[in-house]
Structure 1
Amino acid sequence: MRVKMLRLWVGLLFSALCATSAYGGKVLVFPLDGSHWVNMKVIIEGLHSRGHRVDVVRTDDSWYIKEKSPFYNAITLDVESGFSKDFIVKFVEQLLHIQREGKSAWTRFKLEMEQGEKASQMHEKTAKLLEWIFENKTLVESLQSAKYDLVLTDPGVPGGVILAHCLKLPLVFNVRWTSHGEGHLAIAPSPLSYVPMTGTEFSDKMSFSERVLNTLVLLFGEYQISKYIKPHYESLIKKYLSPGENYQSLFQAADLWLMRVDFVFEFPRPTMPNVIYIGGFQCKPAKPLPAHLEEFVQSSGDHGVIIMSLGTLIGELPSDLADEIAAAFAKLPQKVIWRYKGAKPSTLGNNTLLVDWMPQNDLLGHPKIKLFVAHGGTNGVQEAIYHGVPILGLPLIFDQRDNLLRIGMRGAGKSVDIFTMDHDIFFQGVQEVLSDPSYKKNMQRLSRLHRDQPIPPLDNALFWIEFVMRHKGAAHLRTDSYQLPWFVYYSVDVLLCLSSVVLLILGALSTFFGCLCSKVCLQRKSKHD
């Protein structure tokens, strides 16, 4: 314990000393582990290359976030993060197990409840981590004395959000998701008539029944937030920030939202001035492959190569599913590179190479790659768009079905339900995407659109981070609408006022014409008499 605390103080002292010597600014990063760290690391390396000092908050149970790095100084906390490898792997395994029970309303309900319960556990640990930080007065004073220019965080968990408000620092998000949903929902108008909720698998062109379901999904999401997320932070916010502070308003007060999508991928929707779109910022031109991979790729001849990866969270599948996929691959003339950490499938063909890790971006950029079999994570989808490689999707969890829906809507790929398929269905899916030239043509069109930008997405992200540093925030880009009561935001008071005026006018007119009619009737009666 003493050794760990000594490392922490040495790191903070070194950071403070560098503040006077570094030419650039100082950034405190509160990241999210797993695949989210993969893209956060790209921004950190970019900031380092521009001369900025970067300190990264991590915990002892960090998974991808290493303590030693030439690009940042680690501030290691001796406390659980709530996002450990064991926790996430078991969570994902349980989600896969539930989905294998078959498609039904009951299965979907069980899936949602499991996700809610696990989210509650994760946020409970995150709240304890924050309390540990705030109670450690020496640590807080050290963070304050380091004089950071801003906090850069992934708001998938609210640790960095709440810490930034405690330190009273400008706040920048590297974001696709917040702890309570898709990022736009927290900041921009989101008409339910054409903005589909995550999980519905709807496009922006919804029928009446789909719009009804879209609304119900939003309401159910609000219920889950109020039950599984907010309660863990409300007392923490009142104690360490302000009794009048609102959990969701902490997110809406962020200076800048670096959104990890663009409208080549996303459906058109309302946005805000402080949302900067950096979709595909982690993508880059392919580098030469390692010799053994290049040799394998070249051995494919004119048939080319298929690559398959199910992301950072899913290194293996149930053996029967793996056997079905391997059997389908074995029937193909193409060579296959499959990132897979499980036991060797019994049906594996000689054309398939299993690897623990592969340079995905470099492979996707190789001219012999014909198809990407993917789970539909944002990073992989963006890399496929950048390199123009069509996708056969095997969505598993979280937002993956919605991501692949967007690819399918643009004719750049198709999806197969991994939980109901056999090797014939999978084989036919692969054959369809390989043989129909429209898939490749449409994906290459998306690639051209994505690349046709005046500033590369990463450079754009770095410019705006430095903009916030130079101007101590970006309040002029941020709306204060989140501070309005709901009845003011939706102009309910104005509508009631105008309705009252209309009713008064109608009432007055009704009274006037009633009196007029009565007078006319009386005159006619008196003449008749």
Structure 2
Amino acid sequence: MPPDGSTKIFLLLLPFVLFTLRICHGGKILIVPLEGSHWVYMDIMVKALHSRGHSVDVVRTNKSWYIKDDSPHYKTITVPVTEAFNHDFINPILKKIIDIERGESSAMSFASLQVEMFTAMFNMHRIMCKMATIMFQDKDLMNSLKERKYDMVLTDPAWGAGIMLAHALKLPLVYNVRWITSGEGHLAIAPSPLSYIPMTGSGLSDKMSFIQRVKNLIFYVIWQAQDGFLIGPQYQAVCDEFFGPEVRYSDLLQGADLWLMRADFVFEFPRPTMPNVVYMGGFQCKPSEPLSGDLEEFVQSSGEHGVIIMSLGTFVSELPADMANEIAAAFAKLPQKVIWRHKGDRPATLGNNTLLVDWMPQNDLLGHPKIKLFVAHGGTNGIQEAIYHGVPVVGLPVFFDQYDNLLRLKERGGAKILTLATVDKGNNFLEAIEEVLTEPSYRMNMQRLSRLHRDQPVKPMDTALFWIEFVMRHKGAAHLRTESYRLPWYSYHSLDVVLSFLATVAVITFLPLVFFRYARLEKCIKRQTNKK
């Protein structure tokens, strides 16, 4: 029986009604992101949240590097600043770091590198604290944010502005996290024995000798000193000014409802964790899409030899000219075609097999059947995409966590690492590429990691979205949050219990000795008295 007119109208309006209901039931989310590559994957999550009917506002500065002011997926809240984290800030730092790493390896060069990193971290967090101060001083802005009645704050805790803003607005707090202001995220929330948890920058795995454990401890002390003297006090000063000295920044940082961790245990070394840590490593990965006509034609022209792609990420747009020439010369000797994301001057030794591009569809290229190798700096995004698509890696780490990320792949047999100090020495670069191309174990190991990563009951993005909406539905996730961060350090490590136990044992052990000694002394005194 054909539907009547009213039924037809209802069927036509049904999608609109469902869409309207979806929007009405969507939440309001305030996002305080990081710049650079961190925004790239936060933007992917923003689009996914928008597609589920949520209203998203994004806090940015008027000097924003990556975050556009106009987007169909979010609205922006722009904070006026005089200084920001962008290319002008990062490029001079990277140049100094590359120069130091290319110099002779010595205690002095290590110290110089640490000083440069400490200075960069201090200034980066100084900029963020200034931004937070501007926000909190702007009463109109803060009142506007309160009036919008957000359901939660989603932030990247590598910067602390979003953490403090969530406290000011009294909202549930969710992290899109791998790094926090004081280092690797797990260190702030989960037990982290230094005997098998390698510190960032140490270049160690979870299998350490005695000397390596000593080195790991030294790096732990360095990280603690950096946080205790350079970073933490800056955020605490903002808390003191606007919330009062009784509010500790460290408590705010550790007190987030949910930690969406950008790692999984296919990539990360096994370690203790907590119930409010949800792993979504590779959430940004997806099947590859067809390449543009010109790019596909170039890839297909590689024939049976295939293609190598090279990208050093968001921060490193170009390399020193002599290093770029050595790399280009090595590529020119290969039968493979090469696609290289390079923004500097065209290397004089560039071969006909190499295509220079300002930007590349990295995920789509890694998923192409012609891709044989990925030359990468070791950023989390690129490593996760290489794992997802099962592509072996030759790593050229530049700074911060990149060596440690690549080390995790190397330990699993999927990567070979070169340092900046050796990449242009002799034929090191060419030999590393040829080894990974010709030794089947590299590709086999990466494909095994890819199968492990994909073999999950729920996709990482769907897991992340579920838990974000869980926090909105339940106004937080306090039942998953440990209260350990409220304990003083001596209580956390039960030193007060141990000391009280030792004191009790000491009293029980020595009190009879004191009593007998006193009794013996009394007896001696009486004897002396009787003699007199």
TM-score by length of 2: 0.91
The percent of aligned pairs where both chains have the same amino acid is 60
Residue 441 of structure 1 corresponds to 444
Cα 1:506–1:352 shift into 2, 3 Å: same
| Cα deviation, residue 209, structure 1 | 1.2
1:208 is matched with which residue?
210
1:427 aligns with 2:448: no
Q: Secondary structure at the match of 1:453?
A: coil
Give unmatched runs, 5+ long, in structure 1: 1-17, 518-529
Aligned partners of 1:87, 1:466: CA distance in 2, in Å?
36
Q: 1:513 to 1:205 in 2, by over 3 A?
A: farther
Structure 2 match to 1:487: 490
Are 1:299 and 2:301 counterparts?
yes
- Which residue identity does 1:249 align to in structure 2? D
* Equivalent residue in structure 1 for 2:156, among 149, 154, 157: 154
Q: Answer whether contact 2:98 2:420 (CA < 8 A) is retained.
A: no
3-state DSSP class of the match of 2:194?
A: coil
Alignment of 1:267-278 (within 5 A): 267-278=269-280
Q: 1:143 is matched with which residue: 128, 142, 145? A: 145
Equivalent positions of 1:68-107 (< 5 A) are 68-80=70-82, 82-107=84-109
Task: Kindly state the Cα deviation for residue 515 of structure 1 after the two structures are TM-superposed.
Answer: 11
Q: Which residue of 1 aligns with 2:461?
A: 458
Shift in CA distance, 261/366, structure 1 to aligned 2, threshold 3 Å: same
Matching residue's letter, 1:255:
D
- CA–CA distance in structure 1, aligned partners of residues 24 and 314 of structure 2: 35
Distance 1:302 1:510 in 2: 87
Q: How many residues align?
A: 501
Separation in 2, partners of 1:127, 1:320: 39
- AA at the equivalent of 2:42: M
Q: 1:477 aligned to 458, 477, 480, which one?
A: 480
Deviation at 1:508, TM superposition (A): 5.3
Using the alignment, how far apart are the partners of 1:499 and 1:41 within structure 2?
A: 55
Stretch of structure 1 that moved more, 163-172 or 87-96: 87-96
- The aligned counterpart of 2:353 is 351
Residue 506 (structure 1) aligns with: 509
For the structure 1 residues 491 and 293, does the alpha-carbon distance in structure 2 shift closer, same or farther, using more than 3 Å as the test? same
Q: What's the CA shift for 1:514?
A: 9.1
The match for 2:46 is 44
Q: Secondary structure at the match of 1:370?
A: strand
Secondary structure at the counterpart of residue 427 of structure 2: helix
Correspondent of 1:390 among 381, 389, 392: 392
* Structure 2, gaps ≥5 residues long: 1-19, 521-532
Alignment RMSD (CA, Å): 2.0
| Paired residue type of 2:328 | A
Q: CA, structure 1 residues 22+88, in 2 after alignment: closer, same or farther (shift >3 Å)?
A: farther
CA contact (8 A) 2:23 2:53 kept: no
1:245 aligned residue: 247
Structure 2 letter corresponding to 1:440: R
Within-5 A mapping of 1:510-525: none
Equivalents in 2 of 1:425, 1:101: separation in Å? 17
> Which residue identity lines up with residue 504 of structure 1 in the other structure?
V
Task: Identify the range of structure 1 (88-97 vs 158-167) with the bigger mean alpha-carbon deviation.
Answer: 88-97
1:180 partnered with 2:188 = no
- Rounded to whole Å, the distance in 2 between the matches of 1:410 and 1:197 is 18
Alpha-carbon shift at residue 250 of structure 1 (Å): 1.0
Deviations 1:261-283 (A, max 9, x none): 00101101110100000000000
Q: How does 1:259-338 map to 2 (within 5 A)?
A: 259-338=261-340
Is the Cα contact below 8 Å between 2:129 and 2:234 reproduced in 1? yes
1:364–1:383 contact (8 Å) kept in structure 2: yes
Shift of 1:512: 9.2
8 Å Cα contact 1:80-1:129 kept in structure 2: no
Comparing 162-171 and 504-513, the one that deviates more: 504-513
- How far apart, CA to CA, are the structure 2 residues paired with 1:359 and 1:255? 35
CA drift of 1:20 comes to: 12
Deviation at 1:226, TM superposition (A): 2.1
State the shift of 1:502 in Å: 2.1
Measure the CA separation in 2 of the matches of 1:125 and 1:511: 62
Output the amino acid matched with 2:294: H
